[in-house]
Amino acid sequence: MYSHTIGRRKKFGKGSNEIASAVFDRLNKIDFGKNDEQKILRLVADGCSGQNKNSTLIGMCSKWLVTAPLNVASIELVFPVTGHSFLPPDGVFGQIERKLRKREVIAMPSEYVEIFSESATTVELGQECRVFDWKTAVQEVLKPPSSWGFKFKECKRYFLKRVRSGNVVIRGEVNYKNDLGTFVGITKKGKTTRLIDPDEISSGNHQVKPLKLRDVATLLAKHFGEGWRALQDLSYYANVIPEQIENIETEEESHNVPDTTCEFIPKLPAILV
């Protein structure tokens, strides 16, 4: 489990860059052996477009595949039916949620990391796992998904394989059992997958939306009183949340636009970004 909170003012978001960086880090740490048997790497995740099912993650997988051990022949990305599939990590998340329910208040992000560590191996983004701007790097090399020759959003499986030119081609399938698609190149003219070279993202640059900061400040005042900023144990929040945040009305709130980002938002007063 990759932790987004790694200390005061050192924060990352929970978008495609962070997910792609975490998967890239894990793939680089797997020993695939040195035998000649051809292996297929299968990755399974939910279909959240903001995190998993997007061109950023596919571009990262393409980049990794061209430099992967030669016995890794291809990658298969599988997105199960939403709401009807049970993945192994779901059991871990269930254990964590049961532990969280037993705590009335969790004030510090480090408490979340402590609970996560009881059920999984935690890796700190920015410390043990470098975070890269995959989104920008992929957009410079790959065509937009609308030009890939198949309906990107409707596909349930994607297949990536290396070709002799050192590039990667992809096939999308809208069914789980029928293989009807054909492999196509998705790089721009004059570009190859090897040219995907993302810059590293430094920690602490992620901006939390004012509306979320205001909501956390409201919860802190409800649990600890209006003078919560004076409490030493809550100095983390006093440094992160500016004063007078309660009076801020964001454009998103005034237009009543829902936040569609796929992320786990805890009901307790903690900032996990």
Tell me how many degrees the CA angle 40-44-45 measures, rounded to the nearest 5: 155
Residue 96 lies in a domain: no
> 188 and 221 in one domain?
no
Residue 109 lies in a domain: no
pLDDT at 206: 63
Residue 116 lies in a domain: no
> 253 and 132 in one domain?
no
Residue 232 lies in a domain: yes
For every one of its 273 residues, what pLDDT tens digit does the chain have, with 9 covering 90 and above? 665 543 334 467 788 999 999 999 999 999 988 777 778 999 999 888 889 999 999 999 999 999 999 889 999 999 998 776 778 888 888 999 999 998 887 878 888 889 999 998 888 888 889 999 999 999 999 999 999 999 999 999 999 999 987 799 999 999 999 899 999 999 999 999 999 999 998 875 567 788 888 998 998 898 889 999 999 888 888 888 888 776 666 544 444 544 444 544 343 333 333
> 134 and 69 in one domain?
yes
195, 221, 250: which is the final residue of a domain? 195
172, 195, 218: which is the final residue of a domain? 195
> 84 and 212 in one domain?
no
pLDDT at 247: 67
User: Domain limits at 252?
Assistant: 208-258
Residue 51 lies in a domain: yes
pLDDT at 1: 63
Residue 119 lies in a domain: no
> 241 and 145 in one domain?
no
> 185 and 146 in one domain?
yes
> 147 and 28 in one domain?
yes
Residue 146 lies in a domain: yes
pLDDT at 212: 86
> 152 and 72 in one domain?
yes
> 238 and 132 in one domain?
no
195, 223, 246: which is the final residue of a domain? 195
Q: Are 116 and 122 in contact (CB under 8 A)?
A: yes
Q: How many domains does the chain have?
A: 2
pLDDT at 272: 37
Residue 187 lies in a domain: yes
Q: Are 5 and 113 in contact (CB under 8 A)?
A: yes
> 170 and 73 in one domain?
yes
> 180 and 48 in one domain?
yes
pLDDT at 260: 47
> 161 and 229 in one domain?
no
